[in-house]
Amino acid sequence: MHEKLLGQDLALVTGAACGIGRGIAAAIAREGARVLLSDLDEQRGEQAARVLRNEGCDARFLAADLAGPEGPDRLLAEVLPLGTPSVFVHAASPVRRESDTLFNVSDATWDRMLSVNLRAGFMLARGLARQMIARAIRGRMLLVTSAHAGTPRNLPHYSAAKAGQTMLVKELAKTLGPRGIRVNAIAPGAIPGGGFDAGAAGIERLARCTSLRRLGTPEDIAGMAIALLAERFSAYVTGTTVLVDGGLSLHNWIEPAEL
């Protein structure tokens, strides 16, 4: 029988109602962890948790709006009475619109994108780290960034937020490593669903610009997430970002691919 990789863990996953966050939460639950799924979308979040419970997994949904200044603290106040998570995955990110370019993105949209990705990621990581250290828990943290953390994509708020997360991972890893807490990031390429929707024509064009000639799935990202969270595979890995993009970054995805 397959030994569960995360059978001793309690995990908190933000952005878990759909897309990559949901895929990672499901993979963590199927590897034996008790999982707390958090998201702004209560209907889809509850449904995601219910699906996992129907599979025999231990899953619970907690609604949270991480854009507000008190959102992260409110989520922590709900989580900690249930136990101290040893696994934290921050996948929450507002839906992005391709029209939110330099001169079109509003101040409110800019603030929300950075608040959910960067501010909430920092506050939750810091709050959970304090609890892990107090209880001598060897924790693991994973932030979901983007292939565009280092490559502009005409969405300045999104690229800036993800680039900030990349450095935040390094800062957290440097400080928390001596306390036995590993912190890494995973940078997905084009993964339809959640906050990404390029339309049928856009998906076809992006697939042609990807070395593996297909777009990714949440399951593609979840597999790597498990590898980074499981001590069996990555006990000596911290402070790094793993790119999972099917080779998209090897091509100029803005221009049509030459076949």
Lowest mean pLDDT, pick from 102-111, 191-200, 240-249: 191-200
Please, which residues bridge with residue 90 across strands? 14, 143
Residue 143, helix vs strand vs coil: strand
* Superfamily of segment(s) 10-250: NAD(P)-binding Rossmann-like Domain (3.40.50.720)
Active-site hit among 61, 122, 158, 253: 158
Among the residue ranges 44-48, 96-100, 167-171, 220-224, the one predicted with the least confidence is: 96-100
CA-nearest of 25, 86, 78, 85 to 55 is 25
Parallel, antiparallel or unpaired: strands 59-63 and 182-188: unpaired
**Cα(56)–Cα(122) distance, integer angstroms:** 32
Cα separation, 17 vs 1, in Å, equals 30
How many residues does this entry show for the chain?
259
Distance CA 244, CA 148 (A): 12
- Residue 194: CB partners within 8 Å, gap ≥ 6? 15, 18, 19, 20, 21, 22, 93, 95, 218
Please tell me the predicted confidence (pLDDT) of residue 212.
87
- Is residue 236 flagged as an active site residue? no
**What is the value of pTM for the model shown?**
0.93
pLDDT score at 77: 98
Tokens 């060897």 correspond to what residue?
Answer: 138
Question: Residue 139 and residue 179: Cα distance in Å, rounded?
Answer: 9
